Amino acid sequence: MENIIKRFKRYIAIDTKSDENSNSCPSTPGQLELGAILVEELKELGLADVRQDENGYVYATLRSNIDTEVPTIGFIAHLDTSPSLDGKCINPQIFIYEGGDIKLNDQYTIRTEEFPFLKELVGKELITTDGTTLLGADDKAGIAAIIDAMEYLIAHPEIKHGDIKIGFTPDEEIGRGADLFDVEGFDADFAYTVDGGPIGELEYENFNAASVKIEIQGRSVHPGTAKNMMINSLRIAMEIENALPISQKPEYTEGYEGFYLLDTMIGSVDHTTMHYIVRDHSMAKFKEKKEYFKNLIDFLNKKYDNIITIEVKDSYYNMKEKIEPHMEIIELAKKSMLELEIQPSITPIRGGTDGARLSYMGLPCPNIFTGGYNFHGRFELIPTESMKLISQLIVKIVENNAK
C-alpha cells in the first residue's frame, strides 16, 4: 500500500490539466513532464519497449512468462486532469474517516447532506484535497494502480500471464485522448481503461457525444436610439437556450437519458459565442438532438436574417456496438471481480472515455473503476484501499486470462 500511495502523491503534485484552447499535443507541458517520469519508472521496473512518443503518449510492455499463446491485454489511463480547477495537488490530506462532514479549509467542506455516499466510507483511509485544487484521482489513481500491478507481477513470477500492454494518454479530458493513439503499435487484442468511479464499476456503454459551437453576430447601437435597429446577440443567445427542452438538461437527467449542456457563453450586444455539448446513449435520439439544434438555428436565422452560424462536430460514439461482439472481455472482468469479492456494477457511463474512441479504432476497450468520487472538482476524494483493490483486479484479470 505504501508504494502505491507514494506514487499517487508524486503524480498529483504535477499539474497536468489539459487546455482545450491549445492546438498542441499534449495540450500542456505538465503532461510531458509526468509522462517522462512514468517512462523512467517503467524502465526501472523492467518493462520492455518503454517509450514516450512525440505527442506525449507513453507505451510499455510486460512480456509474457508462459509458452502458450493467450490474448494480449492492454491497460490504459490518462495523464491529464480536468481543466475545471488547478491540477497541482501538493497538499493532499490523508486520514481515517470517522464520519460526518469533512472540512477541507475554512471555505470548503464536503458535507454528508450533499454527498450521502460518505456514510459508506466510514472507517476507511481517505485522500482528499485541501480545497484549493483537484485531487487528480481522475486518472492518476488509474496510473498508480496499473504500475503497482506491473510491479507486483514482476515480483511474483509464479503468477502466469501473457503479454500485457500499458498505455498512458494525454488530453482525455478535452476529448483528444485517442486522437493519436498508436493502436497498431500497441498490438493488444483488447484493453481496459482504468478510469471509472466507485469500486465495482464495469462499463461498456457510454454516451454518443457531439460539440456545438454557435456564433451570433448582433448589431450594437446606442440604446437611446436603438429602436428598430439594435440586435442584441445576448438576448438571442438566451432565446436559443430557452428553446431547448428543460427536461433534457444535465441537472434533470440520469441513467440512459441524454442532455444538452450550455458549457460556456461569452458575449456582448454585438457578438456572442456559445459552446454546447450534446449527449445521448441512443444513436437515434442523438441524431434527433443534433437535428433539433440545426432546425432551431434555421428557424432563428429566418427570424433574424441569417446572423447565426452553427458548427456541430461529433466527438465519440457509444462503444456498446463494438464491445457486444466481444462480451468475453466483460465476463473476464466480472469473473475476476467476483473472485476478489467485488460486486460488479455494470452501468452506462454518463460521459465518455478513451475506450469509446479506441473501440471504434479496432481496440475493444471497456472501462473499469478507480474507486474515486467527485471527479472534476475540489471535493474529489479516493479511499486508499480502492487503489490497491484496482491493482489487485488488474493482476487477477491477467492471471485469469492465462488460464
Say how many domains are in the chain.
2
Same domain for 302 and 222: yes
Among 287, 316, 345, where does a domain finish?
316
Its domain, for residue 242, covers 208-316
Give CA separation, 70 vs 210, 258, 365, 402, 403, in Å. 37, 39, 17, 6, 9
Are 227 and 258 a contacting pair, CB within 8 Å?
Answer: no
Q: Do 164 and 274 lie in a common domain?
A: no
CATH number for 45: 3.40.630.10
Q: Which residues contact 295 (CB under 8 A, 6 or more apart)?
A: none
Judgement on whether residues 13 and 114 belong to the same structural domain of the protein: yes
Q: For residue 14, give the C-alpha cell.
A: 504535477
Give the pLDDT confidence score for residue 343 in this predicted structure: 97
Residues 312, 322, single domain; the answer is no
Q: Measuring CA to CA, how many Å separate 189 from each of 50, 111, 204, 274, 315? A: 19, 44, 16, 41, 24
Both 159 and 226 in one domain: the answer is: no
Tell me if 138 sits within 8 A of 195, measured CB to CB. Answer: yes
pLDDT at 340: 98
Q: Are residues 261 and 311 in the same domain?
A: yes
Closest CA to 61 of 42, 36, 40: 42
Asked if 203 is an active-site residue, the reply is no
Q: What parts of the chain have a pLDDT lower than 70?
A: 1
Q: Sheet containing 93-96: which strands, arranged edge to edge?
A: 93-96, 125-128, 381-383
pLDDT of residue 337: 98
Catalytic-role residue among 41, 80, 195, 380: 80
Residues 150, 298 within the same domain: no
What region, left, alpha or beta, does residue 256 occupy, with left being phi > 0 and alpha being psi -120 to 50 degrees? alpha
Residues 180-220 have pLDDT tens digits of 999 999 999 999 999 999 999 999 999 999 999 999 999 99
Provide the pLDDT for residue 1. Answer: 65
pLDDT at 351: 82
Domain boundary residue, one of 255, 290, 316: 316
Listed residues 295, 316, 337: the one ending a domain: 316
Are residues 199 and 218 both part of a single domain?
no
**pLDDT of 315:** 87
Q: Same structural domain for residues 308 and 336?
A: no
Query: What CATH number should be reported for the domain holding residue 296?
Result: 3.30.70.360
User: Is 307 in the same domain as 326?
Assistant: no
**Burial of residue 345, with CB atoms counted within 10 A of its CB: 0-12 exposed, 13-18 middle, 19 or more buried:** middle
Q: Are residues 296 and 324 in the same domain?
A: no
- Active-site residue (options: 138, 151, 172, 205): 172
Let me know whether 370 and 246 are in one domain.
no
Told to judge if 172 belongs to the known catalytic residues of this protein, a careful annotator would answer yes
